[in-house]
Amino acid sequence: MKDNINWKSIKTVLLDMDGTLLDLHFDNYFWQEYLPEHWGKMNDMDAETAKAQLKDWYSKEAGTLSWYCLDFWTDRLKFDVLALKADVEHLIKYRPYAKSFLEKLNRNAAYSIIMVTNAHENLIKMKVEKTGIDVFFKRIISSHTIGHAKEEQAFWEKLKIESPFDLNETLLIDDNLTVLRAARKFGINNLLTISKPDSQNEEQDPEEFDAIDSFEKIIF
């Protein structure tokens, strides 16, 4: 689907990282397969038992800052989660045409381009080292620095204070529908989601939001 954004009215572009610009397969594979296998072996559990236990823990933290916090999970699981992520960092890659899209955005001085991500600062650093994605942004803002997950209104309130933007002249692209609803509640109406955040999974239902499967489809 082509987006229906009026680019001439946009001055601030807020972009999510994981599942939007970068393939969510790295994160999904790590949390759903690689980490459970490792943690299970550490605790004399078979993979399925470990997955079931972790799934329960994940669900209790979903949408909170703790869910996205590597320090929280390192403490909970009793090993260095970031170090384990490095084992599969070869899976970190851009989504289709995302890098070209960022290059195109940066050629237009009219846009203020800001990354807004729930990713932990240390994970951002790992992904920056792997992709060089930081060069495309005026600022990279983590919810951990803000102190609230993007699913919370407090995130958007603090973001607007720290990096002022006009609600009517701002576009947010994010694969997380809950985040998009929070942004819409805050007053951001130019919203797009991603139909296939994980290259190895099925497309997600975008529900009430316009969705793109590739940044090649965005016209501006």
Give start-end residues of each CATH 3.40.50.1000 domain in the chain: 7-23+93-217
pLDDT in tens, 42-84: 999 998 999 999 999 999 999 999 999 999 999 999 999 999 9
pTM of the model: 0.95
Across the strands, what pairs with 18? 22
pLDDT above 90 for 88? yes
CATH of domain 7-23+93-217: 3.40.50.1000
pLDDT in tens, 142-177: 999 999 999 999 999 999 999 999 999 999 999 999
Q: How confident is the model at residue 216 (pLDDT cuts 50, 70, 90)?
A: confident
The confidence score (pLDDT) of residue 137 equals 97
How far apart are the C-alpha atoms of 102 and 116, rounded to whole Å? 14
Region 112-137: mean pLDDT is 97
The confidence score (pLDDT) of residue 50 equals 94
pLDDT above 60 for 2? no
Region 89-97: mean pLDDT is 97
How far apart are the C-alpha atoms of 79 and 35, rounded to whole Å? 11
How far apart are the C-alpha atoms of 131 and 93, rounded to whole Å? 7
